Structure 1
Amino acid sequence: MMSGVFVDSNVFLKVLEGDHNLKYYFINLCESDVVYRNPVVYSEVVYVWFRLSTGKKSFELKKLPELVKSKSKELKKVEDFLNLAENLSINHKIEKTASGIIKQYGLLPNDALIVATCKHYGIKRIATLDKDFNRIDFLEVLEVG
């Protein structure tokens, strides 16, 4: 079992949006604990960051590869920030666990993959602003902020 805290996408995004309380919370978390994320968090954070930083919707961004490429220096900073958390890989066993979590708790796939990642790696705590995780009896949802 791993000690430490899984950090959900919304915490990273609020820090990127300039929420100072969450920034200091995240810094303290990194100093006092091992923090984790998975590829779902990377995808969600980078996807939303592209939309926020360009002011474009996803269907518009798909048609503007030059705009996406022009963000590569800024993207590197976002990735460096995400990499403050250890990235835990997702495998087929985690996907199967996620399927059961969808059925048992009614979570959507990305959240179910996050919960399944925590379960697989034995992580008991999650830092999130998403109340849906309160339904998970084996996860402690930390007060964020």
Structure 2
Amino acid sequence: MNGVFTDSNVILNHLRDDKRSTEMLKKIQSGEIKGYVNQIVFSEVLYTYMKYVTKEKSYGLKKNPEKIKDIKIGDTVALFDLFEFLHFDDSMLGLTEEMITTYGLLPNDALIAATCKSYGIRDIATFDNDFKRVDFLNVWRL
């Protein structure tokens, strides 16, 4: 599968006006690069964005559902229209365990690496150095 898996930090940095991340998303939007994400990236982006705009820590946000309801997430959700979603399912559980035990990844990163391996994706755009330990991934440092 050609294209690049896009880690949540690239999308979050775009939301913070990082030029490198924005340039990457423009290439995906134009079709120059095929971009992929999974449910983990979607969740991480929304959760981090919600904490950022409310200036709340995780526990404070969780205890304030009215504040959560007031967050305008439409533009952030719309960014995901740029990407093809690669769905993670229970057939990848063993592969996720392998990513943890072989490369020392934390669970969310292991789920991302397992998704890439399962779909045959070799390239990942990220600011996370942990993916450099994964021998089948080519890390695009922006």
- Please name the residue that 1:33 is paired with: 33
- Paired residues for 1:11-90 under 5 Å: 11-31=10-30, 32-71=32-71, 74-90=72-88
Q: Where do 5+ consecutive residues of structure 1 fail to align? A: none
Residue of structure 2 equivalent to 1:109:
107
TM-score normalized by the length of structure 2: 0.95
Displacement after TM superposition at 1:27 (Å): 0.8
Identity across the alignment (%): 42
Where has structure 1 moved over 4 Å in runs of 4 or more? none
How far apart in 2 are the matches of 1:130 and 1:138? 16
Equivalent-residue separation in structure 2 for 1:4 and 1:122 (angstroms): 10
1:84 Cα shift?
1.1
TM-score, structure 1 as length reference: 0.93
1:27 is paired with a residue whose SS is helix
Over aligned residue pairs, what C-alpha RMSD do you find? Answer: 1.1
- Quote the residue 2:8 is aligned against: 9
Q: 2: distance between equivalents of 1:121 and 1:21?
A: 26
Amino acid paired to 1:88: L
CA shift digits 1:58-98 (9 cap, x unpaired): 11111111110111xx2111011123111111111222201
Give the distance between the partners of 1:102 and 1:62, measured in 2 at CA. 28
* Counterpart residue identity of residue 12, structure 1: I
Structure 2 stretches of 5 or more lacking a match? none
CA distance in 2, matches of 1:103, 1:116: 12
